[in-house]
Amino acid sequence: MTLGFWIIKIAATTLGETGGDTVTMTMGLGYLTGSVLFLCALAVLVGFQIATKRFRPFLFWATIVASTTAGTTMADFADRSLGIGYAGGSTLLFFCVLLVLGLWYWTQGTVSVDTVNAPKVEAFYWTTITFSQTLGTALGDWAADSGLGYLGGALVFGAALAIVAAAYFWTDVSRVFLFWAAFILTRPLGATIGDFFDKPRAEGGLDISRPLASALIAGFLVAAILIIPQRPGSHPRASRT
């Protein structure tokens, strides 16, 4: 079940990359407009997610996809439209993630996802997720453009995830730290895989159209959600039904 979660998460982050690029680049709406559109969709889905009385897999993963797609467009807007570059964007977003986690810990005494069972905590949870997805996009683009290429970047972030997994099984490192480390690392992995699908062959990609790549990944994602068991978390409203 845990492995299934991370498989679906990587697929969702890959879809976020190709889907975000489809809207901002292929459709030509631009990074700012794309960010506004996806942030609005994310806000609506988070509202439904907080209000729901039970775990709904498709709603949860739709919200994750919205966050990772918004992360793609926001990272591209910061890196390119604002002109601060990958290093500047990654640094800014890293501090945003730390700030939200710090505020979450300050108000709740923990940042464990096991405690995400109240609206206020869910708000911190989804804000952290969105910033972590945005940071991951910037890191993935930075790695790919630094000379590693898309496959090289995917291998680097895949290896980093393997190290996190090894630490989970064979060390006593904080499980909360390892979760957020893995959560952030899956995003640049998905970003580099997504770019590998749709970038031109001259740039090291497969040159699959962004809409087609998005449709294929979305199909895999839906199938994975249907096939892989999902474990609901606790929610305060559920105990009253």
pLDDT score, position 235: 41
Tokens linked to 208? 């699959």
Q: Read out DSSP for 89-127? A: HHHHHHHHHHHHHHHHHHHHS---GGG--SHHHHHHHHH
Q: What is the pLDDT of residue 79?
A: 77
pLDDT at 11: 93
Q: Residues 105-123, buried b or exposed e (16+ Cβ, 10 A)? A: eeeeeebbbebbbeeebbe
Domain limits of the chain?
A: 2-234
pLDDT by 10-residue block (mean), the chain, 241 residues:
85 93 92 94 93 88 94 86 79 90 93 85 91 86 84 92 94 92 91 88 87 94 89 45 33
Q: Which residues contact 234 (CB under 8 A, 6 or more apart)?
A: 117
Question: Whole-model pTM?
Answer: 0.87
14 to each of 30, 71, 130, 197, 228, how far by Cα in Å? Answer: 19, 12, 15, 10, 18
> 127 and 177 in contact (C-beta within 8 Å)?
no
Which pLDDT belongs to residue 228?
87
Residue 203 is predicted with a pLDDT of: 80
